[in-house]
Every structure is written in structure tokens, then in C-alpha cells.
Amino acid sequence: MGFSRTVIISCAGMGNRLGLGTTKALVEVCGKPLIIRHLEYLRDEEDIRIVVGYQAEKVIETVTGYRKDVLFVFNHDFRNTGTGASVALASKYANEYILSLDGDMLIHPKDMEKILSCEHEFVGGNSIESDDPWMLQTFVQDGKEMVSAFSHCMGNYEWNGITQMLSSKMLKGNGHVFHLIEPYLPVPFMELRTREIDTINDYERATEWVRRGFTEGEPAPER
């Protein structure tokens, strides 16, 4: 039997800090909702599950306008639970592996290709940029960088919420996704270029990143 994967995208949260009055998965960056950007990258994935809660009807309407075969999972307790609970809800009867993504982020197209070509477990991270991040502590084992711990105090990288794990390890949890992963560390590390959108400043930086073609440097010219 070949490699099989279920993709779970967490879109249940309210996104209060952003202050745009919409769930973050529907925030448009350069004219396109974040969730649609994910789905464009995932066009060849057969089993996609989106966890909804806040403004569920709007998310479902936007997604089904682009793709009809997505499975929606309701996290009715989204105000009191984290993304770990959302992933656990959507993990029932999943394929061998689960790829967990947050609906409120941008991923570099080349790094999304790297993610989708991976057929083993990994935890994703990037350079530390946020004001109050959860961080990854890593070490090198047999030439491979491994994640050994999640920490709010110190680490080598910022945890970006992206992981691929055996589905049997993701079935129970109420906190964050990393709480589901912690019992199974160490797990291989994968460095990924991403932008999370939690605040207006994050949104402006992410928009500029897309306008520059996902490169760093001087601001892109107006068009």
C-alpha cells in the first residue's frame, strides 16, 4: 500500500486580534482569500477536511465555490478549545498520515511543494519573527535536524503550526496542535517560509511579501 494522507485545515477561530470582523481564513491577500490560496496548492490532494466554527457558513460558501469535494468538520466549542481539538475532531477515519495546516497563514509556494512531496513525519518552523512565539528546540541526530521540544522561553525556530504526523497520534486533544505532538518527540524538522496573520501589521507584511513574489527586500512597485 502506498503513501496516503488526509489534509486538515483549521479555520474555526475568531481572529479577534486582527480586527477585520471576519475569520482569518477568509482574509483576502492581494485579492484572494487565504483559504483559497491553500486549496490551489492542494488541488491534487484527494482528502481535504476543513474545521469550521466562527462564521462557518461563510467559510463553507467560499470553499464550495472553489471546490465541491471538501469535507467540513464543525468544532462547536471553538471559543473554548484550540487547534488541537479541531485536528482531533477531523482525524477520525483519516488516512495513514495527517498534514495539519492553519487557515490563517501564507506558505511560500516552493515550500508547499516540499511539504506535499514529503512522505514522513515532520514539524515545520521558520526564523523567529513574532513578538510572542512558541519556539522549537532542535538538535542534530545522524545528520538530520530533529525537534526535541516546544517552548515559550527559548528555541532555534518559531513554530508555524505546520506538521505531518501519523493519524493514529492525532486523535485526542483540546489544546494546541503541538500538545498532540509532544508525546512523540523527537520528530524531524522542516524549515518553511511562512507568514502568519494575527494582527494588522502581520497582514500588511504578508501582503507585501506576496506582492514581491514571496521574496524579501525592497517594497514592490505599485501596480
The tens digit of pLDDT for each residue in 172-208 reads: 988 899 999 999 999 999 999 998 888 888 888 889 9
In a domain, 101, yes or no: yes
pTM > 0.85: yes or no: yes
The tens digit of pLDDT for each residue in 74-91 reads: 999 988 888 999 999 999
Distance CA 63, CA 77 (A): 22
**Residue 109 structural domain:** 5-211
Q: Print pLDDT tens along the chain (223 aa).
A: 689 999 999 998 876 565 566 788 999 999 999 999 999 999 999 999 999 999 999 999 999 999 999 999 999 998 888 899 999 999 999 999 999 999 989 999 999 999 999 999 999 999 987 777 899 999 999 999 999 999 999 999 999 999 999 999 999 988 899 999 999 999 999 999 998 888 888 888 889 999 999 997 544 444 3
In a domain, 14, yes or no: yes
In a domain, 109, yes or no: yes
In a domain, 134, yes or no: yes
pLDDT at position 201, please?
Answer: 84
CATH number at residue 82: 3.90.550.10
**Considering its fold, how many domains does the chain have in total?**
1
In the block, which residue shows the cell 514529503?
Answer: 118
